[in-house]
Amino acid sequence: MMTRSCEGVRCPGAGDPAATSCVGGVCVSPECTPETPEACPPPECVADSECSAGSVPCAAPVCLAGSCGLRGDDARCEGRCDPRVGCVGAPDARVDAGAPDAGAADCAAVCPGECVAGVCEIINERTARCPDGVPCRVRCSVNECRGGVFCGDAPCTVECVGLGGCRGVVECGASSDCDVQCDSFRGCPDIRCGTGRCTVACREDDDCNRVTCPPGGTCEIACEGVGSCAGIICEGDCAITCGDTACQAVDCRAACACDVGCTGSACATVMCRPGCESGSGCTSTGAGCDACP
């Protein structure tokens, strides 16, 4: 889901000096949160029909938490629908393939949701727990997954698509391949990668408050929205990209290797391994900058 971006909006504006936060392109009081909707301005919409369609054929207009946006429909693509640009990539073989010995029968026996082609799909559960041994897909809409999302040891895809969708922790744990996609304002306050491969995308403003990559983890973290990554802590092998004004603090001092790329004024504070600074970011190239086993 893609809502109207706050990129380019500076708060407070010419109006209320107390409106220091941005939601859906509008300056609002910092008290405006999913838990306190009474502190927010009147909603832009209450139904999908009140929102206009965009120019991307695979995306449909949607109203979530009072803001109009676009929801990608992967069924209209051979790969995935990015509501900003259209169909991208190829079908995700990582999730469809599953663990070598996991079949549809195994999925049905352990999945708390619905099994689709051998993949355990868990949609809008307060606490989503993926079983071990079976690939898993978790999807969280507005304020749904408040109790957290916990991946098993198989490939795990987590989609946070509504305001505060993944309000609880998103924990990759022992997942061999964890893919966390955050497309909602304040959607993922706490993402914890595991010791496998971990891919995190924070696309909306104020999206991901904290992202951690532990020792032994291999993490790719992309931050695109304004203030989308308030804090990133890397203690593994990390590749981090920050769009303009996206990252407030990146700490790679304990990483075995860390590449941080900052666009423009993307990174307010970056702390690298000693001697591994590169411009406004970090590099894993050079003596002592790659200590990963």
Kindly tell me if the per-residue pLDDT of 5 is higher than 70: no
pLDDT score at 98: 44
Q: Is residue 183 part of a domain?
A: yes
pLDDT score at 91: 47
Q: Which domain holds residue 262?
A: 114-282
pLDDT score at 100: 42
Same domain, 119 and 185: yes
Kindly tell me if the per-residue pLDDT of 213 is higher than 90: yes
pLDDT tens across 201-210, in order?
998 888 888 9
Q: Who contacts 238 (Cβ-Cβ below 8 Å, separation ≥6)?
A: 213, 219, 220, 221, 232, 252, 255, 257, 258, 259, 260
Same domain, 29 and 155: no
pLDDT score at 85: 67
- 121 vs 18, residue with greater confidence: 121
pLDDT score at 127: 92
Residues 141 and 1: their CA atoms lie apart, in Å, by 9
Percent of the chain with pLDDT over 90: 32
Q: Is residue 66 part of a domain?
A: yes
Domain count, the chain: 2
pLDDT score at 24: 61
Q: Is residue 287 part of a domain?
A: no
Residues 168 and 113: their CA atoms lie apart, in Å, by 19
Residues 274 and 25: their CA atoms lie apart, in Å, by 39
Q: Who contacts 159 (Cβ-Cβ below 8 Å, separation ≥6)?
A: 137, 138, 139, 140, 181, 183
Same domain, 135 and 76: no
Nearest to 266, CA basis, from 215, 228, 238, 292:
228
Kindly tell me if the per-residue pLDDT of 34 is higher than 90: no
Same domain, 254 and 132: yes
38 contacts 30 by C-beta, under 8 angstroms: no
Q: Which of 3-17, 61-75, 134-148, 168-182 has the lowest mean pLDDT?
A: 3-17
Q: What is the reported pTM?
A: 0.67
Q: Is residue 140 part of a domain?
A: yes
Same domain, 225 and 142: yes
Q: 19, 53, 88: which is the final residue of a domain? A: 88
- 68 vs 92, residue with greater confidence: 68
Same domain, 140 and 31: no
Mean pLDDT within 98-113: 67
Same domain, 147 and 278: yes
Same domain, 259 and 172: yes
pLDDT score at 21: 67
Structure token digits, residue 78: 């051979």
Backbone angles phi, psi at 50, to 5 degrees: -85, -5
Q: 46, 70, 88: which is the final residue of a domain? A: 88
Q: Over the chain, what is the mean pLDDT?
A: 81
Structure token digits, residue 256: 């075995």
Mean pLDDT within 19-25: 67
Q: Is residue 290 part of a domain?
A: no
- 41 vs 238, residue with greater confidence: 238
Q: 72, 88, 104: which is the final residue of a domain? A: 88
pLDDT score at 215: 93
pLDDT tens across 113-155, in order?
989 888 999 998 989 999 999 999 999 887 788 899 999 999 9
Same domain, 77 and 206: no
Q: Is residue 98 part of a domain?
A: no
Same domain, 130 and 267: yes
Same domain, 195 and 84: no
pLDDT score at 47: 77
Cis peptide preceding 12, ω within 30 of 0? yes
Per-residue burial over 136-146, b if 16 or more Cβ lie within 10 Å, else e, is bbbbbbbbbbe
pLDDT score at 102: 42
Q: Is residue 93 part of a domain?
A: no
Structure token digits, residue 128: 């989503």
H or E, element range at 95: helix 93-97
Same domain, 258 and 135: yes
Q: Is residue 37 part of a domain?
A: yes
115 contacts 107 by C-beta, under 8 angstroms: yes
